Amino acid sequence: MKRWTTGEVAKQRDISIRTLRYYDQINLLTPSYRDDKGKRYYSEEDLFTLEKIIILKSLSLPLENIRIILDKLSYKQILISHYNYLQEQHSKLETSILNTASLINMIDLEDTLSWESVSKLAKRPKDESKKWLDYFQEEEKNILLSTIPNISNNDETTQQYISLLRKIEWCIKHKISPESEEGSQIGTSLIEITNSHFQGDSDLMEKFWEVRKLPAEETGLYPISEEVLEFAERCMAYVTTE
């Protein structure tokens, strides 16, 4: 079983040695082995924990909170929350870029620009440092509960469901068509899950997919893009016509 010293870990993960010692000090990440001379040695598991910590920190969680929830979350759960976070950042960035480009252009056009005209565009996406819970709420509380009533909470199927959506995004990025082996697998799983969720109530099911199209502000859910929805629908269609 390989072990790494502080220096090695620091270099590999691009953090300072001081940081590692600090995390040890506050009992956030205690290396699993200590020399008779006091040297710290980190195991593979320690590195995974560190990875978790770094990701959670990037969601701007205070270290205190990280310590509390660290062992309650799997690496996968954390990665998924990270993914959601990144997606949100991505869409925010795109509007920011557009706004900034507009502003630069405005300066080129009018030479005296009033604050009033600028202030509309200058709105930066506000920093939601306390909002981090949201990235988990979606996993913790049932995806649906808040928007559609009368559906029981089942954490396992929720997990499966999210996993499927990720897989679809993955397929899209790798240009795998919904009319493929993977597509039909996804389709079958989707139908299974949706059936067990809605117990054949196709009316509710329709409503559900509609809701998923709305932007996040209105539903409180992470929005699924049209592209993903279409892919999902084509997967399911492909399975039923096979």
| Binding residues for a copy of itself (CB under 8 A) | 12, 14, 44, 47-48, 51, 54, 58, 75-76, 79-80, 82-83, 86-87, 89-90, 93-94, 96-98, 100-105, 107-108, 114-115, 118-119, 122, 124, 126-127, 163, 166-167, 169-170, 173
* CB closer to DNA out of 40 and 52: 40
Pick between residue 44 and residue 206 the one whose CB is nearest to a copy of itself.
Answer: 44
DSSP character string of 5-24: EHHHHHHHHT--HHHHHHHH
Angle at which helices 226-241 and 202-213 pack, to 10 degrees? 150
Torsion angle in degrees (nearest 10) through CA of 213, 124, 96, 168: -30
Q: Which is closer to DNA, CB of 111 or CB of 127?
A: 127
How far apart CA 213 and CA 228 sit, in angstroms, is 10
Choose the one of a copy of itself, DNA, none that binds residue 94, judging by a C-beta under 5 to 8 angstroms depending on kind. Answer: a copy of itself
Q: Which residue has the tokens 């909170």?
A: 65
Q: Of DNA, a copy of itself, none, which one does residue 163 interact with (CB within 5 to 8 Å by kind)?
A: a copy of itself
Residue 111 binding result from DNA, a copy of itself, none, given CB thresholds of 5 to 8 Å by partner type: none
| 5 counts as binding DNA under rule CB under 7 A | yes
Out of a copy of itself, DNA, none, which partner does residue 5 contact, by CB within 5 to 8 A per kind? DNA
Q: How many residues bind DNA (CB under 7 A)?
A: 18
Tokens of 124: 């930066």
Place of tokens 């509960």: 145
Using the minimum distance from each CB to DNA, give the nearer residue, 53 or 80. Answer: 53
Query: Is 52 an interacting residue with respect to DNA (CB under 7 A)?
Result: no
Distance CA 105, CA 108 (A): 5
Closer CB to a copy of itself, 83 or 151, in the complex? 83
Residue 40 found at the interface with DNA (CB under 7 A): yes
User: Does residue 186 contact residue 194 with C-beta atoms inside 8 Å?
Assistant: no
Give the position of tokens 């096979």: 242
Report CA torsion sign: 30, 17, 11, 56. positive
Among 22, 33, 75, 209, binds DNA (CB under 7 A): 22
State which amino acid sits at residue 40. Answer: R
Per the CB < 8 A criterion, the answer to whether 222 and 85 are in contact is no
Residue 6 lies near DNA (rule: CB under 7 A): yes
Task: Tell me how crowded residue 20 is: count the other CB atoms within 10 A of its CB.
Answer: 23
Q: Is 63 in the site for DNA (CB under 7 A)?
A: yes
CB of 14 to DNA, least distance (A): 11
CA dist 157 and 134 (Å) reads 19
Interface residue list for DNA (CB under 7 A): 5-8, 16-19, 21-22, 37-40, 57, 62-64
